[in-house]
Structure 1
Amino acid sequence: MGITKLADLIRQDAPGAISHKDISDYTGKVIALDTSIVMNQFRAATPSLSPLTGLFFRTLTFLEHDIKPVFVFDGKPPREKSAVLEKRAEAAGWKSPNRTGTASLQTRDCLQLLKLLGVPVIQAPGDAEALCAKLVRDGTVDAVASEDMDTLPFGANILIRQLNAKKDSDVIEYSLPKLLEKLKITHEEFVDLCILLGCDYCDKIAGLGPTRALSLIQKHRTIENVVLHVNRKTHPVPHFWEYKEARKIFLDAPHSVAPELTWTEPDEESLVRLLCHVKYFKEERIRHRMEKFRQTRESKREEREKEKAEGKSKQTRIEDFFRVTRKRAQPVDASSSNRKRPKTK
């Protein structure tokens, strides 16, 4: 669900926090992706196809644009999210939601695919969007790509929506610092606003719309003060309201150190074995896409060498892309498979 009508509120009250961009604007950027959101997009768009197909094609598109993707996977969800997970499981026709964070067979397939594509994978201790936001705040990545607006109350300075492989797609970027400035509230007050709007971790005050919720926070600054001034007949406050627990989830950063990120060349033969010999995708299609990937890289390399010679660009050559490693002094907190991957020489 994310945050109810937050995007509408931003468009109306803080349009200056929104930028409209093209996928090419993120060349050279390190982007964290909430993997579950990406997979759900593919399931909804092409329910008859495996989401592995979409993940394979989209990741190659990112790499062709010199976008350095980092895929973050959900861990064990917080207890406060149980009601939302139940509703989602029922809507999807599942017997029960995954409350343990144990990787499903499809998740394990995704992990293997991304390893073979040579991109970093990180396992979050809880919700992936919380760790994605922390990675932005720590400077480990440049932005988060997710359709869920709750990445903003988690503290992601830059949120990107609609970052996909479609040509002429309008990518929407949200700036949290600009948003707080336009709304004239602090991050803590913004979190309380998001709880009033409606989030995944607790109920909301009934009948309280975005405009009214924003004006109440701007005037009273905290949920505690809002409750004292709201008309409880028209806006009944939930019994045993766990807004403090929700606030803590948004404001407390995950206990995770910034990882070392490394990108390597895709392993075409292993990709073919997985996708074609195990998952029975058409080999011709996979080979054709890998050939297009190589040609695109070569074309971009030649284009940049020409620009460099003409003094028009100082961007990194495409062949140097896979040597990029964002180093940190702290211990690595990534999946064990990602830690063992040798760096490209």
Structure 2
Amino acid sequence: MGVALRPLIADYKEVLPWDRLGGIAAIDAFNALYQFLSGIRQPDGTPLMDEEGRITSHLSGLLFRTANLVEKNITPVYVFDGKPPKFKEATLAERRVIRENAKESWERAVKEGDEESARKYAMASSKVDAFILESSKELLTALGIPWVQAPEEGEAQSAYMAAVGDVTYAVSQDYDSLLFGAPKLLRNLTVSGKRRVNGKVVAVYPEQLLLDQVLGGLEMTQVDLIAAALLIGTDYNSGVKGVGPKTAVKLVKEGKFAERIGESENAADPEELIRYFLEPPVEKQYTIAKKAPVREKVVEILCEQHGFSEERVSAGLERLGSSKGQATLDSWFS
């Protein structure tokens, strides 16, 4: 879910056309997988599944939406979460309850024939489990798409890779990447080009946020922004009751952070949380390697194991440059 920074940074978002997005993208893998699992479903919310009942929505998303990025001269590098930090346990427990309740509501809506509600609840019940993680990494390896295993938070890892210049930008739907110091954050990169809002279908375009512009516009340091986020509430703390984004900024600028953060119901040490955002555990030894798809392995995974159409898989592989001399892949690292 991330921190509710939207009202503070709305003025600094820049909608970019696809032809300006070429580069290497460190993608929050969990974030992307949830998008695939939530969005790639049947009309009643049932996810794509193979004959054995294993979910395959994420595999479809990894192949076809990754191919879409490659065609637009974007090199995707998927970054996977590791072990969550201890102060995230309460948030994760809350999310499990929300998913379980949503699953029950979905099943009830399906029985009642309420397709619209069924799809809504189904999307909220999406879960990234061990099978989805293992099969995602296996497919990415076969596709020749780089991936990195973070020791803890994937967004922290992506932010580090962007900060040291190994990737062009961090990609996530959440704004936490800015708190972790990502100099450039891109949103809406792995989502579908359309989204349903209040019953209407609207177009969705990539959005860029530059950390320097955000901090300069708000007249804050990164530590100030982190402090404001802690007053609002993050995945690691509950925030202060009644304090929204604008009030949080005001309190930080007035030097009242230490005074007010004590009102938070969360027991986490705020100084420890600030240090975590500034110096999170990250993997510094990783390789973003150029590799060609192993066509036979991709076909084995998707077609033989999970029943995908070989014709569709072949079309996706061609978009990735698996034929005609690997021209598309070669352009990534030229």
TM range (shorter): 0.7 to 0.9
Question: Which secondary structure does the structure 2 equivalent of 1:201 belong to?
Answer: coil
Q: How far apart, CA to CA, are the structure 1 residues paired with 2:211 and 2:164?
A: 15
Residue type matched to 1:75 in 2?
Answer: G
**Is the contact between residue 264 and residue 322 of structure 1 (CA under 8 Å) also seen in structure 2?**
no
Which TM-score applies when normalising by structure 2? 0.79
**Is the contact between residue 59 and residue 136 of structure 2 (CA under 8 Å) also seen in structure 1?**
yes
Match of 2:36 among 21, 42, 51: 42
Partner deviation per Cα, 1:82-119 (whole Å, 9 max, x = no partner): 01111112222299xxxxxx971211100011011111
User: In the alignment, does 2:135 pair up with 1:109?
Assistant: yes
Q: How far apart, CA to CA, are the structure 2 residues paired with 1:261 and 1:322?
A: 11
Residue type matched to 2:159 in 1?
Answer: A
Shift of residue 294, structure 1, vs aligned partner = 4.2
Tell me the residue number matched to 2:331: 321
Partner deviation per Cα, 1:55-90 (whole Å, 9 max, x = no partner): 111111111112111111010000100011111122
Pair 264,240 (structure 1): closer, same or farther in 2 beyond 3 Å:
closer
Q: What is the CA RMSD across the aligned residues, in angstroms? A: 2.7
Shift of residue 273, structure 1, vs aligned partner = 0.7
Tell me the residue number matched to 1:132: 158
Tell me the residue number matched to 2:123: none
- State how many pairs are aligned: 287
Partner deviation per Cα, 1:210-241 (whole Å, 9 max, x = no partner): 11111111221x6214459xxxxxxx542645
Q: How far apart, CA to CA, are the structure 1 residues paired with 2:64 and 2:324?
A: 15
Tell me the residue number matched to 2:265: 238
Pair 292,240 (structure 1): closer, same or farther in 2 beyond 3 Å:
closer
Partner deviation per Cα, 1:298-324 (whole Å, 9 max, x = no partner): 9xx9xxxxxxxxxxxxxxx74632555
Which TM-score applies when normalising by structure 1? 0.76
Q: Which has the higher contact order (CA 8 A, sep 6+)?
A: 2
Mapping for residues 52-201 of structure 1, pairs under 5 Å? 52-93=59-100, 104-164=130-190, 166=193, 169-201=204-236
Question: Which secondary structure does the structure 1 equivalent of 2:237 belong to?
Answer: coil
Q: How far apart, CA to CA, are the structure 1 residues paired with 2:328 and 2:307?
A: 31
Question: Which secondary structure does the structure 1 equivalent of 2:186 belong to?
Answer: strand
Residue type matched to 1:45 in 2?
Answer: G
**Is the contact between residue 3 and residue 232 of structure 2 (CA under 8 Å) also seen in structure 1?**
yes
Gaps of 5+ in 1: 96-101, 229-235, 302-316, 325-345
User: In the alignment, does 2:306 pair up with 1:279?
Assistant: yes
User: In the alignment, does 2:214 pair up with 1:207?
Assistant: no
Gaps of 5+ in 2: 42-46, 49-55, 104-127, 195-202
